[in-house]
């Protein structure tokens, strides 16, 4: 593995006794129980095991523990398997039974459910249960992708969960650079006056903080990719803490604002997955790392800002800062004429009002590109939903003082308006997709512990993988 901390929930060699985990659906429960030793079948019946989704029962024998069974109900996808790590005895080692119907989903779900953010706790609890993945260097491509996705998701979750006093703009940018350099990319952190010169709108957002803004720019080309391989360019919003600026957020709305760098974290995780899979492309990654704070040097309402593209922007609301961070990154990304341009951002509450926390809002100027991500999201259970880039609302951003405002006076379609603002900084003809994500689980569920989440990362990777595979076959 190339990045982040180790998946300590997985091992590749047996360590002591290894137990089997079985999975069963309600319509197969009777026949499956009939094949068990009579005492185990009687135990399951006596304890009310019905194979509903997430229901787990340990199987006893005369030596103590014989195995475990997980009910699947009608669930598909990886999340149901996330119930296992918390229910299996700490310190035990497990392998999938041979009849598990989707081994790749099992591995991904187990790893996603095993995640815990513990670095700031004096935690003396015993090690959690682990999953044995035999011959980890010769596993199937599907399981390899599951392990890569889990590793990237742990990285994303760790970054989002880290308190803002420990992860400022410089820390985020340099940590990303360290990870990418170790993975074989060329990474550069831009700071100081160079940020002001090259990313003026982004700098205006970050100048109110004592912690200066920074921009990470990284490039990588697959070892087998030709010099003219397609360019995939990814931009991420990395607002390490967002007070709202002078349009100050209420205290309750500020509590989770350490997660406002979730777009940058997801972009980094996606880049790591692309590099580990050696997708046949040239990759460019840009992370805009800032804090939106209140000070004598902070931007004010109705300030007019320069941008890298040359457009002037009036600040109608200082709490609409994410689009100001991304606009300079998108403008620079377009200078390389990428075949695919993506951005990820925890951008609007309006997207959450429309779709809730689990579904990323997708905006795109390319129907085929959007279609790939939508299909991939359904296939791998990482849903995205397309919302329109409705040109009829573009005039809402018109402004008498500058080329455009960063918000509209209208009280609706906030996610759409934010996407239309970003589109102004995307070159005509560029195939672009914008993901407005939540990046957070409000409460713990199987496979989705409370805290940071890599929303839409797996859908984006799978969509890119399929597109590049199809291109290679042409």
Give Cα separations from 260 to 14, 296, 331 (angstroms). 41, 23, 21
Pick the catalytic residue from 219, 221, 249, 465: 249
Chain-centre distance of CA 188, in angstroms?
Answer: 22
Pick the catalytic residue from 323, 352, 424, 448: 323
Q: How do strand 56-61 and strand 64-71 relate by DSSP bridges?
A: antiparallel
Contact partners, residue 340, CB within 8 Å, separation at least 6: 230, 231, 232, 233, 369, 431, 433, 464, 467
451 bridge partner residues: 441
Chain-centre distance of CA 30, in angstroms?
Answer: 40
Chain-centre distance of CA 400, in angstroms?
Answer: 38
Contact partners, residue 326, CB within 8 Å, separation at least 6: 235, 237, 288, 343, 345, 422, 425
Query: Phi-psi region for residue 223, left (φ > 0), alpha (ψ -120 to 50) or beta?
Result: alpha
Query: Within 10 Å of residue 61's Cβ, how many Cβ atoms?
Result: 12
**Active site annotation includes 249:** yes
**Active site annotation includes 352:** no
User: What residues act catalytically?
Assistant: 249, 323
């Amino acid at each position: 593995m190339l990045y982040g901390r180790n998946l300590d929930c997985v091992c590749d060699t047996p360590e002591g006794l290894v137990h089997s985990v079985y999975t069963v659906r309600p319509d197969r429960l009777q026949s499956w129980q009939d094949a068990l030793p009579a005492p185990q079948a009687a135990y399951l019946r006596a304890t009310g095991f019905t194979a509903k989704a997430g229901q787990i029962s340990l199987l006893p024998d005369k030596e103590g523990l014989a195995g475990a069974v997980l009910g699947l109900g009608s669930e598909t996808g990886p999340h149901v398997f996330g119930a296992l790590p918390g229910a299996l005895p700490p310190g035990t080692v497990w392998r999938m039974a041979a009849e598990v119907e989707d081994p790749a989903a099992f591995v991904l779900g187990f790893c996603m459910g095993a995640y815990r953010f513990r670095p700031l706790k004096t935690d003396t609890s015993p090690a959690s249960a682990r999953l044995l993945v035999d011959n980890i260097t010769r596993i199937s491509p599907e399981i390899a992708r599951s392990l890569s996705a889990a590793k990237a998701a742990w990285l994303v979750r760790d970054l989002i969960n880290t308190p803002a006093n420990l992860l400022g703009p410089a820390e985020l940018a340099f940590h990303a650079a360290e990870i990418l350099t170790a993975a074989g990319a060329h990474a550069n952190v831009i700071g100081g006056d160079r940020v002001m010169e090259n990313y003026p709108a982004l700098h205006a957002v970050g100048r109110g903080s004592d912690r200066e803004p920074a921009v990470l720019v990284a490039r990588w080309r697959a070892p087998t990719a030709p010099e003219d391989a397609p360019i995939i360019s990814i931009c991420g919003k990395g607002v390490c803490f967002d007070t709202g600026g002078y349009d100050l957020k209420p205290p309750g709305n500020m509590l989770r604002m350490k997660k406002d760098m979730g777009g940058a974290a997801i972009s980094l995780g996606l880049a790591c997955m692309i590099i580990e899979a050696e997708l046949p492309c040239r990759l460019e990654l840009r992370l805009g790392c800032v804090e939106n704070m209140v000070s004598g040097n902070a931007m004010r309402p109705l300030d007019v800002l320069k941008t890298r593209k040359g457009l002037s922007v009036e600040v109608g609301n200082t709490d609409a800062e994410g689009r100001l961070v991304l606009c300079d990154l998108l403008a620079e990304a377009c200078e390389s004429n990428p075949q695919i341009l993506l951005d990820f951002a925890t951008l609007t509450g309006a997207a959450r009002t429309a779709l809730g926390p689990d579904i990323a809002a997708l905006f795109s100027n390319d129907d085929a590109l959007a279609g790939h991500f939508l299909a991939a999201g359904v296939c791998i259970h990482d849903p995205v939903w397309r919302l329109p880039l409705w040109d009829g609302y573009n005039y809402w951003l018109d402004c008498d003082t500058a080329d455009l405002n960063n918000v509209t006076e209208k009280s609706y379609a906030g996610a759409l308006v934010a996407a239309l603002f970003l589109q102004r900084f995307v070159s005509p003809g560029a195939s672009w997709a914008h993901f407005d994500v939540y990046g957070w689980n409000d409460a713990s569920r199987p496979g989705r512990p409370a805290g940071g989440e890599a929303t839409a990362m797996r859908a984006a990777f799978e969509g890119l993988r399929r597109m590049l595979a199809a291109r290679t076959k042409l």
